[in-house]
């Protein structure tokens, strides 16, 4: 009888330990579930706040025209590389290319040239020679009359107007060593300096940039959204609830 009583006592002792462990594990699970729910609620609240702050707000005509009317807005060439921590890599030239001179062109023994997006300036010695390779020169001689020279009095200039005003030249003539146009440092310019087509494109880029900073879609994205809404309205029989849109 004593042995049976001892067995029951041991059983009850183990039962109490097991019950305590079960209760402890249940409380741990409940605590983990509570934390998980709190985390989900916090993330949901954060998303709602972000959506609230990023509501689509259309620019008024006055705000849009303000961008184009402000001729004092500084434009910088998109070809100029942005600064990064690794300055050594930025300073590397493309293979076989020269570093542009201070005028975004190149210097050679007999002449040098500089450029803007619109124009090219060639500076050469006062002895002028013009011709086609392999053929007798069309012009070859000293200038007969005085022209306006550079400060040293020995160099004349040829002014060329570009047809393509959107790109930088990498060389003046095909036999020149090219410059690395990624190293070009364009001067500041104004919207009024640009031709009509380029100015319209730059104004659109500026509007899109401002909209991005405000958390709004670009004009192109807005057009796509409008087209999508019209398509969905025109096809009510189609179910778009599971469709994924980028």
Domains of the chain, residue spans: 1-53, 56-75+188-246, 90-181
Cα separations in angstroms, 134 against 138, 141, 216? 12, 18, 60
Average pLDDT over residues 29-52: 77
pLDDT for position 5: 62
Is pLDDT above 50 for 242? yes
pLDDT for position 1: 46
Average pLDDT over residues 155-176: 82
* pTM exceeds 0.85: no
pLDDT for position 74: 46
Closest CA relative to residue 113, chosen from 131, 125, 101: 101
Of the candidate ranges 3-12, 143-152, 168-177, the one whose mean pLDDT is the lowest: 143-152
Q: Which residues of 188-213 are buried (b: 16+ CB within 10 A; e: fewer)?
A: ebebeebeeebbeebbbebbbebbee
Confidence of residue 109 (pLDDT cuts 50, 70, 90): confident
Of the candidate ranges 74-78, 119-123, 176-180, 223-227, the one whose mean pLDDT is the lowest: 74-78
Determine the topology of domain 90-181 in CATH: Immunoglobulin-like (2.60.40)
CA–CA separation, 200 and 195 (whole Å): 9
**pLDDT tens, residue by residue, 54-78:** 544 555 566 555 655 555 454 444 4
CA–CA separation, 155 and 122 (whole Å): 10
Confidence of residue 37 (pLDDT cuts 50, 70, 90): confident
Strand arrangement of the beta sheet that strand 155-161 belongs to = 106-107, 111-115, 119-125, 155-161
Confidence of residue 46 (pLDDT cuts 50, 70, 90): confident
Closest CA relative to residue 123, chosen from 136, 107, 137: 107
């Amino acid at each position: 009888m004593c042995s049976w009583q001892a067995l029951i006592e041991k059983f009850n002792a183990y039962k109490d330990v097991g019950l305590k462990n079960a209760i402890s594990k249940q409380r741990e699970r409940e605590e983990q579930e509570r934390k998980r729910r709190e985390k989900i609620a916090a993330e949901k609240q954060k998303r709602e706040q972000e959506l609230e702050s990023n509501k689509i707000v259309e620019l008024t005509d006055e705000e849009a025209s303000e961008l184009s009317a402000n001729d004092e807005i500084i434009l910088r060439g998109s070809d100029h590389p942005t600064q990064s921590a690794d300055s050594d890599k930025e300073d590397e030239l493309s293979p076989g290319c020269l570093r542009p001179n201070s005028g975004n062109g190149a210097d050679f023994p007999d002449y040098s040239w500089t450029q803007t997006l619109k124009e090219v300036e060639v500076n050469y010695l006062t002895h002028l020679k013009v011709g086609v390779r392999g053929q007798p020169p069309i012009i070859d001689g000293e200038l007969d009359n005085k022209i306006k020279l550079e400060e040293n009095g020995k160099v004349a200039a040829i002014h060329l107007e570009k047809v393509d005003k959107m790109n930088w030249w990498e060389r003046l003539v095909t036999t020149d060593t090219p410059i690395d146009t990624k190293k070009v440092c364009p001067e500041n310019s104004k919207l009024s300096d640009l031709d009509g087509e380029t100015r319209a494109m730059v104004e659109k880029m500026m509007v899109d940039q401002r909209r991005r900073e405000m958390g709004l879609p670009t004009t192109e994205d807005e057009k796509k959204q409008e087209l999508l809404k019209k398509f969905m309205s025109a096809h009510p029989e189609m179910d778009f609830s599971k469709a994924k849109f980028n």
